[in-house]
A = this chain, B = another copy of it.
C-alpha cells in the first residue's frame, strides 16, 4: 500500500521518521527537521520542506549529508556502502553493466572528483524522466561537473540529493507524474526534427521554415488534433493554431477567448524545452479536458509560434509580432545565409504572404494571454522551487560602445601619464555590476569586451564593449541606464578618454497584468508550492501579445543552473507535471470567475 499525505501528517514524529526512513541517505535529520512543517498540503510541499531543511541545516550538515552517499559505482564495486535504494537506482541507470573501460574511467573520475572537492560525486542517475540515464551521459556529466567551483558543485550535489529523494517519494507515495511524463515525451519526440548539419551530430536546431521546421509544424498539428483541439491550422506565418471550443451551453453570443502558447523554433544547438514546454503544457490540459468531455466557458486558443529566436532571418518575434500587427514587409526581402529570401522560404512552405495582415487579433475578443516557459535562468533551481511567477518581462536597452584612450608603450608610460581605454571600461564593468545589483531585480552586463589587436606590452588605446541593461519597468530601466551613462561620462572626464556609444536595442518592459499574475499565484499556491515572484530577464512571445491584451507568465525550473540555448537545458517530468496542474488550476479559476 502506498503511503498517503494524511497518514504522514497524522503520524507521531517517530512514526513519520519510520515512514520516510532512508529518504535521505543515512541522514534521518533531514526528515526530522522537515516534519516540523506539517501538515503538508501536497507532495510538492513535502519535497520543498525537505530541501528547506537541508538549506537551513548549514554547511557542516550539508557536507555530512553529501558524504553519507556512496561513490558512483560500476558493476565490480557494488559494495556494502550502497543502500538497497542506491543499488536499485544505479542499476536502473545501467551502471551495473559497465564495460571494464567505463569502470576504469568512473574509478578515475571518482578519485579526481574526491581529490578536488573532498566529497563524493552525486548524480540522480534516474534522470529528469526517472527512467535512468545512459552511461555515456553519466560519464559526460561527471566530467563536466569536475570543472565546477567547489561551492557550486556542493549545491549541485544537494540538488541531486533532492532529486533522488523526489523520485523515492514518488515511489513511496505511489505517484507517477503521468501528465509530466507525457509533456516530457512529446518534447523528446518533437526534438527528433532538426536542421541538416545539426541533426547528424544529435544537435537540435529548428530555424524558421526549414524542412525540419515544417515537419515540426505538421507534428504539432497532429499532436493538437489528437489531444482534442476542435480546429487546428497553420497560419500565414507558419504558426500552428489550435482552438478548443467553449461549451455550447454558454449563454454568451460570441465566446471570449483565452490565448496561450509559445514558440517551436530553436536557436542553433539549443534545448528541447525552450518555447516548446509552453505549447505542450496546454496540449496536455486540453487532452485531459477532452478525455473528460469537459468544456470551458471560453475558447482556449493555443498558438505554437513559428519564429521567436531570429536565427535564420533577423526578424525576432516575427510570429507573435504578426498577431499584434507588427509584421514588417521589409523582412520578406531578407536573405538567409544561403541566399534564400524570406519571401521565397514562405512561398516554398505554402504560406500565403497576402494573408499575414489578417493575423492581427482583435483584442476585444480576447480575455488575455498566458505563457508557460522554462525559466532559462538559475533562480528556481537554486531555490529548490519547481515553479515561479513572472512579475514582468524586463525592459531592456543595449549599446555597442568603444572607449578611445591612447595606445602607448606598457614599459615606458608611467602610470600617471596613461590614458588606458581598457582600465576605463573596467571601471564601467564594475559600476554596471554594482549599480544593477542595487535594484535587486535589475540586471546589467558587459558581455562583449575586447581590446582590438591588444598586445601584452601596449597600453590599450581602444576597448570595445557592449552594455545590456534590463529592469522590470521602463522607469527602473531608464534610471539604471541614466546612471550608467553618467558614470561612463564621468570616467571619460576623469581619465581623459573619449567614448562612442550606439544604442542597438530598446525594448519596453511588459509587466504582468495583476489579475492574471494573481491567477497564476493562486494556481501555484493551490499545489502547495511556495510562491516565488521574479522578473523575466529574457524576452518572450508574451511581450508582443502584451501590446494587445493582458498577459502573465509562469516559469518552470530548469536544471543545470537553468542553462538554456544549450543542449544541457533540462527539466524534470515532475516539474512539468506541476506546470500542467498549475495551468489546469488557472483554467478552472477563470471558468469560476466567468460563472
Binding site for B on A (CB under 8 A): 147, 149, 151-152, 375-379, 382, 394, 396, 398, 400, 404, 406, 408-417, 419-420, 422-423, 425-427, 429-430, 433, 436-437, 441-451, 454-460, 463, 466, 468, 470, 496-498, 504, 536-539, 561-565
CA distance A430 to B470 in the complex (A): 26
In the bound complex, what is the Cα–Cα distance between A417 and B402 (angstroms)? 27
Give bound CA distance, A427 to B428, whole Å. 11
Query: How far, in whole Å, are A406 and B381 apart by their CA atoms in the complex?
Result: 15
Q: Which residues of B contact A459 (CB under 8 A)?
A: 445, 447
Q: A152-B496, A415-B444 are in contact. List 16 more A-B contacts (CB 8 A).
A: A152-B406, A377-B408, A377-B409, A377-B411, A377-B412, A379-B412, A379-B417, A409-B565, A410-B443, A411-B468, A413-B562, A423-B429, A425-B426, A445-B456, A448-B454, A449-B450
Q: In whole Å, how far is A18's beta carbon from the nearest beta carbon of chain B?
A: 38
Are B413 and A537 touching (Cβ within 8 A)? yes
Say whether A414 contacts B449, CB under 8 Å: no
Inside 8 A of A417's CB, which chain B residues have their CB?
378-379, 382
Q: List 11 A-B contacts (CB under 8 A).
A: A151-B496, A378-B413, A378-B414, A379-B417, A409-B562, A422-B429, A447-B454, A447-B459, A449-B454, A449-B460, A457-B468
Point out the residues of chain B lying under 8 angstroms from A412, CB to CB.
375-379, 536-538, 562, 564
**A410:B451 contact, CB within 8 angstroms:** no
Q: Which residues of B contact A457 (CB under 8 A)?
A: 398, 445, 447, 468
Say yes or no: A451 contacts B454, CB within 8 Å. no
- Closest beta carbon of chain B to A383's beta carbon, Å: 10
With most chain B CB atoms within 10 A of its CB, the pick from A412, A457, A497, A498 is A412
* In contact, B408 and A420 (Cβ under 8 angstroms): no
- The complex places the Cα of A441 from the Cα of B459 at a distance, in Å, of 16
Closest to A495 in B: B149
A149 contacts across to B, CB distance below 8 A: 419, 496-498
Q: Which residues of B contact A379 (CB under 8 A)?
A: 412, 414, 417
A458 to B398, CA, bound (A): 12
Q: Which residue of B lies closest to A453 (CB)?
A: B448
Q: Which residues of B contact A448 (CB under 8 A)?
A: 451, 454-456
A152: chain B residues at CB < 8 Å are 406, 419, 496
Please tell me if the beta carbons of A436 and B415 are within 8 angstroms of each other in the complex.
yes
Across the two chains, which residue of chain B brings its CB closest to A442? B415
| A194 CB, min distance to chain B CBs, angstroms | 22
Cβ B447 vs Cβ A449 within 8 A: no
Shortest 9 CB-CB contacts between residues of A and residues of B: A377-B412, A411-B537, A410-B445, A426-B426, A412-B537, A426-B429, A448-B454, A415-B437, A456-B466
Instruction: Give complex CA distance A446, B459 in Å.
Output: 7
CA distance A450 to B425 in the complex (A): 12
List of B residues within 8 angstroms of A497 by Cβ: 149
